[in-house]
Amino acid sequence: MESVGAKIVETIEAFAGPLLEDMGLELVEIQFRRENHGWVLRFFIDKQGGVTIDDCANVSREVSAYLEVEDLIDHAYHLEVSSPGAERPLKTKDDFKRFVQSKARIKMREPIGEQKVFVGIIQEFDGDAVLLEQDGRTISLDFEKISRARLAL
């Protein structure tokens, strides 16, 4: 059964994805969770060349107006909008294509040999697999079997 929080995130993503695209931004991730100081609705946005404070303020303003009208969340929460940072998550096939020649940390759902975590340079994304160069050898990682991935410093 889908949680109420997941349904809220799904509804907000359906609105925010196209809005951010029109603003020249990419919606990387939305998180909605309870933290020490209460509920937090967190947007991670990105664009070529990096996100500015004005980008964050504009997204915050648009999303706040939408949430006020739609009344999706019936309790207090904090809205945060920021860049995903240097170690941004890689979630989509387009993310892997965009960050070819970048260093990444990829965790697989199941081990390959005895290894579950791979750190290396993304060489290519061929449609079904990420080709990662690690320690002088190229490893093919099935995209569907990736548990988590992010850029690495």
The span from the CA of 89 to the CA of 91, in Å, is: 6
pLDDT range class, residue 8, cuts 50, 70, 90: confident
Q: Looking at this protein, which amino acid is placed at residue 47?
A: K
CATH class in words for 93-151: mainly beta
pLDDT in tens, 83-122: 988 888 998 898 899 899 999 999 999 999 899 999 999 9
Phi-psi region of 56 (alpha: psi -120 to 50; beta: other; left: phi over 0): alpha
DSSP lists the bridge partners of residue 107 as 117, 148
Q: What is the CATH number of domain 4-82?
A: 3.30.300.70
Q: What is the pTM of this model?
A: 0.77
The domains of the chain are located at 4-82, 93-151
Residue carrying structure tokens 């070529």: 48
Fold match between domain 4-82 and domain 93-151: no
